[in-house]
Amino acid sequence: MNKKDLAEIKKLLIEKKAELLNKTNNVQRDINSDDINVGDEIDTASQNSDKEMLFELAAGDKITLNAVNDALAKIEKNTYGTCEDCDEKISVERVKAIPWTRYCIKCQEEAENSKR
Ligand SMILES: [Zn+2]
């Protein structure tokens, strides 16, 4: 993977992260709107950490957000693009399609087959 590909992937990951976090904020707002007249709620809301807010995200979104964060960390450590299972390089086509993927196509398919 060249630097240009990596820069492109990093941008995709940051965009995805923003999208997911934005979703969290929207969910949070929906919940608070019911209690808009309760003064104590404001203090509670401001104390909510990012982690607590993530509980409001759908399970699938949480998994994706974790994967996005891990992928960004891997880019920083220069270990991005390697399968977590077999240590083989993940194809550029695959990481561009799903930049937060942890596994190469082979391991992903094996994991999916074993679930059935
Ligand atoms: Zn693999």
Using DSSP's 3-state secondary structure scheme, residue 82 falls into: strand
Q: For 36-88, how does the pLDDT look when each residue is reduced to its tens digit (9 = 90+)? A: 554 555 555 555 555 555 566 788 899 999 999 999 999 999 999 999 999 99
DSSP single-letter state for residue 78:
T
Statement: residue 31 has pLDDT above 80: no
How many Å apart are CA 58 and CA 84, to the nearest integer?
Answer: 24
Task: State the distance from the centre of ligand 1 to the C-alpha of 102, rounded, in angstroms.
Answer: 9
Q: 58 φ, ψ to 5°?
A: -60, 150
pLDDT of residue 85: 95
Task: State the distance from the centre of ligand 1 to the C-alpha of 66, rounded, in angstroms.
Answer: 19
Q: Which residue has the tokens 């808009």?
A: 36
Statement: residue 24 has pLDDT above 90: no
DSSP single-letter state for residue 89:
B
Percent of the chain with pLDDT over 70: 73
Extents of the domains making up the chain = 3-115
Residues in Cβ contact with 82 at an 8 Å cutoff, skipping those fewer than 6 apart: 74, 88, 89, 90
Amino acid making up residue 92: V
Task: State the distance from the centre of ligand 1 to the C-alpha of 18, rounded, in angstroms.
Answer: 28
Q: Which residue has the tokens 């994967």?
A: 67
User: CB 95: neighbour CB atoms within 10 A?
Assistant: 23
Task: State the distance from the centre of ligand 1 to the C-alpha of 19, rounded, in angstroms.
Answer: 28
pLDDT (average), residues 1-21: 95
pTM: 0.72
Statement: residue 23 has pLDDT above 90: no
Task: State the distance from the centre of ligand 1 to the C-alpha of 7, rounded, in angstroms.
Answer: 23
* CATH homologous superfamily, domain 3-115: DksA, coiled-coil domain (1.20.120.910)
Query: Which stretches of 9-90 are assigned E, i.e. beta strand?
Result: none
Task: State the distance from the centre of ligand 1 to the C-alpha of 83, rounded, in angstroms.
Answer: 5
